[in-house]
Amino acid sequence: MEIDLTKIGMYKDQQYEVIITTIDNKGKSNAAPFGLRVLEDNEVFLRIFEGGTTIKNIKEKEEFIVNVTTDPLMFTLATTNTIPDEYLTRISNKTATNDELVYLTDADAYFICEVKNLKEALREDEIKSSDVNYIKSEVIELNIKNKCVKPMNRAIHALIESLVNYSRINIVDENTQKYFLERFLESERVIKRVGNEKEKESIQILKEDLINQGFEI
């Protein structure tokens, strides 16, 4: 089967939030959430800060699994490092090194990735400087478990929150209006960074409407 991430609603140049599952050299599994950018139908990009278990395991094994899910509990347990083993399924990777791999049992889809290029760099910002890894990987196997699979994207959530606040902005007090406008700007930042064309157009429509109503943003 030809690998094509558009089959699971993941498109070129878009970013999605996924859960990456890895295994270390001793066989211990790990799961954590990351933003993943699609470069081609079968190529993805990750930016992972140094210091965590996922990046250590990816460097050791040069392969990992990307799980596509919208399950809030899975994202939470993966973030707090508390996904119990019974939520994970181990498989042997027939396509490459024959190593064991692990995926989230209830993921709507998962795909096996092989690292093609890993670059380390020092990233400096106003708060601190940190080592960051830029990882380009090829998707070598795609498994679709739920035909209705939909990848998680931050932009739609930011947009819906903005719409709710927009619908209330003329019935709240001045302090709450100020708070809504600050949140609006943060949502706009997220949508510009990870949103699709419709989400970007939507936030622009809202912004122009708010300006026309006399709000300063």
Ligand X SMILES: Cc1cc2nc3c(=O)[nH]c(=O)nc-3n(C[C@H](O)[C@H](O)[C@H](O)COP(=O)(O)O)c2cc1C
Contacting residues toward ligand X, per CB under 6 A: 17, 30, 32-35, 47-49, 52-54, 79, 81
d(C-alpha 72, C-alpha 77), whole Å: 9
**Cα dist. 53→56, 79, 81, 170 in Å?**
5, 12, 10, 47
Cβ atoms of residues 137 and 43 within 8 Å: yes
Take residue 85 and report the two structure tokens written for it.
């083993």
Closest separation between CB of residue 181 and ligand X, Å?
A: 25
E strand or H helix at 165: helix 154-168
Closest separation between CB of residue 48 and ligand X, Å?
A: 4
Closest separation between CB of residue 39 and ligand X, Å?
A: 15
Nearer to ligand X, 7 or 47 (CB): 47
Closest separation between CB of residue 157 and ligand X, Å?
A: 11
Burial class (CB in 10 A: 0-12, 13-18, 19+), 129: exposed
Nearer to ligand X, 44 or 210 (CB): 44
Nearer to ligand X, 156 or 181 (CB): 156
First-residue to last-residue Cα distance in the chain: 49
Closest separation between CB of residue 75 and ligand X, Å?
A: 6
Residue showing the smallest CB distance to ligand X in the complex: 52
Nearer to ligand X, 157 or 183 (CB): 157
Closest separation between CB of residue 217 and ligand X, Å?
A: 26
Torsion angle (degrees, nearest 10) of CA 165, 169, 174, 179:
20
Closest-CA residue to 145 (of 103, 91, 83, 102): 103
Nearer to ligand X, 132 or 181 (CB): 132
Nearer to ligand X, 44 or 112 (CB): 44
